[in-house]
A and B are shown apart, each in its own frame.
Chain A
Amino acid sequence: MKLRTVRRISQVFFFSLFLFFVIVSDLRYLKGYPISLFLELDPLVAFATAITTHTIYKGLLWSLLLLIPTILLGRIFCNWICPYGILHHFIGWLMGKGRAEEKVRIESNRYRSIYQIKYIILIGMIVAALFGSLQIGLLDPICLFHRSMTTAILPTLNLIFPSSFYVRQNYFVAGWVVGFLLFLMVGMNVVIPRFFCRVLCPLGAFLGTISSAALWRIERNPTKCVDCDLCLKNCEGASDPHTQLRKSECFVCFNCIEDCPEDAISFKFVPPLQHEITTPAVPGRRALLGSMLGFAFFGFGRASGAQERDYDKKVIRPPGSVEEKDFLERCIKCDQCIRVCPTNVLQPAFLQAGLEGIWTPILNNKIGYCELNCTLCGQACPTGAIQRITIEEKTGVGKFAEQGPVRLGTAFYDHGRCLPWSMETPCVVCEEVCPVSPKAIFSREVTITKRDGTDITLRRPYVDPALCIGCGICEHECPVTDEAAIRVTAVGETRSHDRRLLMDGGVTSAVRELEQRKR
């Protein structure tokens, strides 16, 4: 079998596997599939979170596995495994220069100096990470592709084929931005083949740097070579196989070997160093510029106060999320939590969570609500931004009764919009759906004289802040649908001591009952 055929089988396999994991990340199908596999294999995720948190969370240790083929063979991940790279390879063939004349193709695959940009991006992201701002997810191909599938592609396909991916249509408020960015990245293949992989990909830059040490590489035999440049015809990485090989750029696609009419190119074990450019070509001053950019990103983002006193009331984080600063050290914006969320409440933030929080998950209670007996987001999170808490820990029962439930925020009434409070109309849907027991929403019966002189007995709802967990189902089910008469805001969230509302939980019915239970 030709090497090219083997590679294509690998590409189809890994691309399908990625899609499979994306599609089965649904409560109907989930049964212990390793849905985070690609993210856990991604060494940039492990490396960058290790910088920010000084730990490697659970399954991220698997990424060590990917270092082995990289150190032996080079950036084989980019052209054999990476689903996003495979997408670009395929689109480049379908729409780009893949079908152009030989000369055009050869010219389009010569190395260009803009291919350094990815290293500068990587340096910037690592510097930002050193300061505690994890931004690799913006461009890491696995995070980016998963995010695009979750928030743009699947919901769009589901519009055309209703109930194909969801029981009820899912909506993502900022999904269109993610979608058009995907469009842009994919479309750039028409201008420069593998544009994203060659120019932007920080994971490619990371693997490229590691592959400087690779033991095998593409080697040209200069005595056999007739300088026809045909090896460039299908060169995916633009790694100059026709001269000194740029080792860190080579995707190990093996096309050059098969395209060479003279059999001058082979894959060789420790070939001579003078035939290669071993390390990435990044001039020092540009590297410095990259690191300054990374620092600026962190500095400008943090100085906005979006994580401090100006935190947004609508930045309500999923249950089990770590405190906001730690969250920004861990969240890779892969949006896997958003994919598994059964109520569609989780949304990728655009600018609500500040510059640093772009594409991180927040709750939108207009679209969904947090299901009480559900911790899927934490189960799916590969980096522990949302900790893998149990239902008992979330709801504060059993051993955890003393510390109480995990709260996401607190619900507040807007009396001017509430039917029983200001419109002489019965309602209390909010009380009905409140999932905690005893209910955090309670109502008091009042008899009022209506405008027309008749009496009506109404129940007017109240929130008990000691019991409210901020799940948002009251807001979601409120019949005042454009801006609910009860709304959850982030204050009161248990993940942050600074953002709590009640000093001691409050002397309320709930606390009294807790005491009774203990006796």
Chain B
Amino acid sequence: MSTTPDNGENQGQEPENGIGRREFILRAGAAGALVAGSIIAGRKLWQPNHFIPGFEDQKGLQLPPYTFGASKLLPTMAIAHGPDHEKTVGAAIGALGGMSRFIEKGDIVMIKPNVAFDRPPALAATTHPDALRAVANLVFAAGAAKIIIADNPINSPTGCFLKSGLRQVANELNLDLLYPETNSFAPLQLTGEVLKNWTFFHEPFKKATKVIGLAPCKDHNLCHSSMTMKNWYGLLGGRRNQFHQHIHSIVSDFALMMKPTLVILDGMNVLMKNGPTGGRLSDVKPMGTIVAGTDMVAVDSYGYTHLLERDIAELTYIHKAHDRGLGNKNWKEAHYKEVQA
């Protein structure tokens, strides 16, 4: 007594133990479509050639230069001495003609501090929060729309930004702090001496229009010193612990990789020994100096001779960078200005 038609009896033209034409077409069609689909998919997915694992072609992005038009009147390097972090930074930038020379209204500025280690500021192993605060204030005053700070530290990123005091400054001044997250990296292409294709911390550079390197001045156990050039190490990811096998070539490759708007070397307190980590206040010497400039080779060579007080002859990476035309190691040949804060 059901209201729905019963199969087999109420289907009209269908034979009792067979199927109708319509159903045959449908079922044969489905089977045919499955066969055809498999063949098309198989053809499409077919990989006829093998490859040698690990030797595939590598492609990566190119980093644009962040330099700006040169000026004949204004100096390219400034050395400021003084007791106060903020004032000395201000004096150095002022001697270069002010931050507005480098930063235009609306710029998105990436400031690259060195936050490699989980250390408090007094140990001088990381960019000092006062230096970041001073630079960021100048950048904002020059009309920047946004400041990004980012680094890929050796120690755990959260701990490094917290204990170096930079997270605090970022919160205070509303800077965008970017941690090196899983998806923050992309391969970079370079024609360096050793660095050809490497995982790069790309996220901050998706929007940045200007780049300022803000590095502490430090001793380094292997390459003698870590200053503004070595600071770009923190933009790379991957197996960085292989760099040490060609450390001087790699550090000079950084000068090729990054063409920053400005670099600032913080020599207020210099990590003289036990670098790059430091660990005791006795490793640190107050030098009361900020060096700013557009040529990181010149800035670093001043830092090595006058802040770390060592013989430039042993600093292989500076000579490599100079010989490759990536900067001038003879900082006195630059148009420089030395001021007191």
Contact = CB atoms under 8 A, between A and B. Distances in A.
Contact of A342 (B158, B181, B277): B158
A426 B274 contact: no
Nearest to A372: B118
B245 A427 contact: yes
A437 B183 contact: no
Contact of A426 (B119, B154, B244, B277): B244
B241 A479 contact: yes
Given A428-B221, A437-B277, A373 B182 contact: no
Contacts, number: 96
- Contact-residue size bin, chain B (C-beta under 8 Å from the other chain): 35 or more
A438 interface: yes
A434 B277 contact: yes
Nearest to B162: A27
Contacts of A425: 245
Interface string B266-300: 00000000101111100100000000000000000
Contact of A167 (B154, B157, B276, B278): B157
Given A168-B180, A426-B245, A427-B245, A373 B277 contact: no
B156 interface: yes
A168 B160 CA distance: 14
Given A163-B181, A342-B156, A371-B118, A433 B244 contact: no
Interface in A43-78: none
A28 interface: yes
The A interface is mostly helix, strand or loop, or mixed, namely loop
B331 interface: no
A368 B119 CA distance: 18
Q: B163, B179, B276, B279 — which one has the most chain A CB atoms within 10 A of its CB?
A: B279
Nearest to B179: A167
A343 interface: yes
B222 A431 contact: yes
A519 to B, nearest CB: 14
Interface string A426-467: 111101111111110001000000000000000100000000
A334 to B, nearest CB: 22
Interface in A145-187: 162-163, 167-169
B305 interface: no
B279 A437 contact: yes
B82 interface: no
A478 interface: yes
Contacts of A437: 274, 277-280, 283
Given A168-B180, A436-B279, A429 B120 contact: no
Contacts of A326: none
Contacts of A493: none
Given A431-B221, A437-B278, A478-B241, A163 B163 contact: no
Contacts of B120: 373
A162 B221 contact: no
Q: B159, B239, B246, B280 — which one has the most chain A CB atoms within 10 A of its CB?
A: B159
B222 A167 contact: no
Interface in B100-141: 117-120
A371 B280 contact: no
A225 interface: no
A323 interface: no
B155 interface: yes
B339 interface: no
A198 to B, nearest CB: 41
B315 interface: no
Interface of B: 117-120, 154-159, 162-163, 179-184, 220-222, 239, 241-242, 244-247, 274, 276-280, 283
9 contacts: A162-B182, A163-B182, A169-B182, A432-B220, A432-B244, A437-B279, A477-B154, A477-B241, A479-B244
